[in-house]
Amino acid sequence: MTTPRHPTVIGRSRDARLAKLSGMGPFVRGHLRLVDVKCGNPTCHCATGKGHPSYYLIVRRGGKTETRYVRKDRLEEVRGWLNQYKRAKRLLQEISDLTVELMVSEAHVSRKQKRKKRRN
């Protein structure tokens, strides 16, 4: 991301990202893990071979790792939540960077204005 120099432009860029963030839907921090599971049926192919593919959402809550089964019909929805989290994280970092740049830029403009007043 290239950072603009003028405080007004920086402020507008930050506000645009804040608007994107507020318009986001649900998100979750974690990852998906594909696991082969044996169903327990002794006549099923998984009893002697490869198990049934199942997806689990892995998240950290309260300092502990939790594993939650993801039904096949919700898999794409959960993937969307994970992608939204990545997008939100990126937006938060950009907003933070722009806020710091805004503070630095405003201080720079303020120093220039003080110098002009002293010269006049």
Mind listing the pLDDT tens digit for each residue in 29-45?
A: 999 999 999 988 999 98
For residue 65, give its domain range. Answer: 28-112
pLDDT of residue 106: 77
Name the more confident of 107 and 61: 61
d(CA 75, CA 57): 10
Mean pLDDT within 43-53? 90
Confidence category of residue 7, pLDDT binned at 50, 70, 90: confident
Instruction: Tell me whether residue 55 is in a domain.
Output: yes
Residue 11 counted as domain residue: no
Distance CA 80, CA 66 (A): 19
Residue 22 falls within a domain, yes or no?
A: no
In-domain check, residue 64: yes
Among residues 29, 32, 7, 17, which one has the least CA distance to residue 104?
Answer: 7
Domain count, the chain: 1
- Asked whether residue 8 is assigned to any structural domain, the reply reads no
Q: What would the pLDDT profile of 62-116 be if each residue is shown by its tens digit?
A: 999 999 999 999 999 999 999 999 999 999 999 999 999 888 887 766 666 666 6
Asked whether residue 106 is domain-assigned, the answer is yes
Cα–Cα nearest to 83, from 34, 32, 35, 33:
32
Residue 19 lies in a domain: no
Query: Within a domain: residue 16?
Result: no
* pTM assigned to the model: 0.74
81, 27 Cβ separation under 8 angstroms: yes
